[in-house]
């Protein structure tokens, strides 16, 4: 799938974003389960879960065979599963409890372990699932290749629990690691590493919310590195200008391609440090970004 088109989809409203996310999830599910019986999905925490609300409603909920889903977390806070900070709890309340995924196919972290133990335990669990053929492996990198990652992004541009300038960004060997000094509370977490994220078959990066303006800029920088084509739906020029990407609007309107466009400012480029680590030969085979237009203000 390397070299496939990377898309940006921009939605005017939160409902349209949620609808689009549901639609594309169904599309990827259908496509991948034509050849295999398992569908491995990785969730982030945060606002992403709320954006999945349309997927658990008709018509989308009935278009998926949920018995094929195997669910993982891209990162988790080292807290008990019923803690308000738990990403498992968030996903369970907002998404998983509403669909018939077999409980044995929902892989939460072991909340009886400390950070290092929980990271090792989660990596061992994924390795076991690779051995049993539940999770695929990237033939190029030998890292696990999950079918679909559904990810949000933090205000500072962090993905999973991989924070800008943190040493964990350099991790090249481990599948799962831990952090005890997360700049965003709670401080103790486990997280998939970038090589694992990059090995995924598809990643939907959902970007939404007023406080995510900086993160949107960072995402745009990455998208510009990868996109062959940008699909702009009713993108108001003023909003592009607010974000400092007005020329993208003009150029995409005019030519429908980013190939010859020069627009991005150096400061946005510098801000993109975390996201640009996705720049890797094995990267992100499918890339969608969803932006709620009215939230930019
Ligand atoms: O701490 C986390 O933050 C990011 C972004 O979430 P949000 O709270 O800013 O909406 C999330 O993707 C990650 O899974 C989570 O642990």
In order, the DSSP letters of 35-89 are T-S-EEEEE--TTHHHHGGGGGSTTGGGGS-GGGEEEEESEEESS-TTSTT-HHH
Distance CA 10, CA 219 (A): 12
Asked if residue 152 has its Cβ within 6 Å of ligand 1, the reply is yes
- 150 pLDDT exceeds 50? yes
- Out of 75, 76, 218, 289, mutate this one to test ligand 1's pocket (max ligand atoms within 8 Å of CB): namely 75
Mean pLDDT for the chain overall: 78
Ligand 1 atom nearest residue 182's Cα? 1
pLDDT at 85: 98
| 271 inside domain | no
Other CB atoms closer than 10 Å to residue 260's CB: what's the count?
7
Q: What DSSP element (H or E) covers 268?
A: helix 266-271
Ligand 1 atom nearest residue 189's Cα? 16
Asked if residue 274 has its Cβ within 6 Å of ligand 1, the reply is no
The token pair that represents 107 in the structure block: 């892989």
Backbone angles phi and psi of 200, in degrees to 5? -60, 150
pLDDT at 64: 98
Backbone angles phi and psi of 236, in degrees to 5? -75, 130
Asked if residue 76 has its Cβ within 6 Å of ligand 1, the reply is no
Percent of the chain residues past pLDDT 70, beyond the cut: 68
- 231 pLDDT exceeds 70? no
pLDDT at 218: 56
> Which residue's CA is the nearest one to ligand 1's atom 15?
45
The token pair that represents 59 in the structure block: 């018509």
CATH classification at residue 24:
3.40.50.1360
pLDDT at 83: 98
Asked if residue 177 has its Cβ within 6 Å of ligand 1, the reply is no
- Whole-number Å distance, alpha carbon 5 to ligand 1 midpoint, is 27
- Whole-number Å distance, alpha carbon 206 to ligand 1 midpoint, is 11
Distance CA 214, CA 152 (A): 13
| 272 inside domain | no
Ligand 1 atom nearest residue 153's Cα? 5
| 177 inside domain | yes
Among the listed residues 216, 74, 80, 90, the one whose alpha carbon sits nearest the alpha carbon of residue 159: 74
Range of the domain at 149: 5-229+286-293
| 166 inside domain | yes
* Segment 21-29 mean pLDDT: 95
pTM of the model: 0.77
- 157 pLDDT exceeds 50? yes
| 252 inside domain | no
pLDDT at 111: 97
ipTM of model: 0.96
* Segment 39-66 mean pLDDT: 97
| 184 inside domain | yes
Asked if residue 53 has its Cβ within 6 Å of ligand 1, the reply is no
Distance CA 160, CA 233 (A): 28
Overall domain count for the chain:
1
- 283 pLDDT exceeds 60? no
- Whole-number Å distance, alpha carbon 36 to ligand 1 midpoint, is 31
- Whole-number Å distance, alpha carbon 102 to ligand 1 midpoint, is 25
* Segment 258-279 mean pLDDT: 37
| 240 inside domain | no
Question: pLDDT tens digits for 105-134?
Answer: 999 999 999 999 999 999 999 999 999 999
- Bond preceding residue 273 cis, omega within 30 of 0: no
Asked if residue 184 has its Cβ within 6 Å of ligand 1, the reply is yes
Distances (CA, A) of 136 to 71, 130, 160, 222, 273: 14, 6, 20, 26, 29
Query: In terms of DSSP bridges, do strands 69-73 and 39-43 run parallel, antiparallel, or are they unpaired?
Result: parallel
Distance CA 62, CA 205 (A): 24
Ligand 1 atom nearest residue 43's Cα? 14
* Segment 99-108 mean pLDDT: 98
Three-class SS of residue 189? strand
| 35 inside domain | yes
* Segment 270-280 mean pLDDT: 42
- Whole-number Å distance, alpha carbon 159 to ligand 1 midpoint, is 7
> Which residue's CA is the nearest one to ligand 1's atom 12?
152
Higher pLDDT, 154 or 168: 168
- Whole-number Å distance, alpha carbon 48 to ligand 1 midpoint, is 8
Question: Exposed, middle or buried, 157 (CB in 10 Å: 0-12/13-18/19+)?
Answer: buried
pLDDT band at 208 (very low <50, low <70, confident <90, very high): confident
């Amino acid at each position: 799938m390397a070299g496939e088109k990377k898309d940006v989809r921009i939605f005017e409203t939160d409902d349209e974003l949620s609808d689009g996310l549901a639609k594309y999830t169904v599309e990827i599910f259908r496509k991948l389960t034509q050849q295999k019986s398992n569908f491995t999905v990785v969730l982030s925490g945060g606002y992403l879960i709320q954006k999945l609300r349309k997927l658990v409603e008709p018509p989308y909920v009935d278009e998926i065979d949920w018995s094929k889903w195997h669910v993982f977390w891209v990162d988790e806070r080292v807290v008990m599963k019923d803690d308000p900070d738990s990403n498992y709890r968030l996903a369970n309340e907002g998404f998983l409890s509403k669909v018939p995924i077999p409980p044995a196919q929902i892989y939460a972290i072991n909340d009886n372990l400390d950070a290092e133990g929980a990271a090792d335990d989660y990596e061992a669990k994924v390795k076991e699932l690779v051995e049993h053929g539940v999770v695929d492996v990237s033939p190029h990198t030998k890292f696990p290749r999950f079918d679909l990652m559904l990810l949000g992004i933090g205000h500072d541009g962090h993905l999973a629990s991989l924070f800008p300038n943190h040493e964990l960004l350099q991790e090249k060997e481990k599948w799962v690691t831990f952090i005890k000094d997360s700049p965003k509370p709670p401080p103790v977490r486990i997280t998939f590493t970038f090589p694992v994220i990059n090995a995924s078959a598809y990643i939907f990066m959902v970007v939404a919310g007023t406080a995510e303006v900086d993160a949107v800029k960072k995402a745009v920088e990455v998208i510009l590195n990868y996109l062959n084509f940008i699909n702009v739906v009713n993108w108001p020029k003023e909003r592009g200008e607010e974000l400092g990407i007005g020329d993208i609007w003009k150029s995409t309107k005019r030519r429908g391609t980013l190939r010859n466009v020069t627009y991005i400012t150096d400061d946005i480029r510098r801000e993109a440090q975390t996201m640009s680590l996705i720049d890797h030969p094995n990267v992100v085979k499918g890339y969608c970004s969803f932006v709620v237009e009215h939230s930019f203000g």
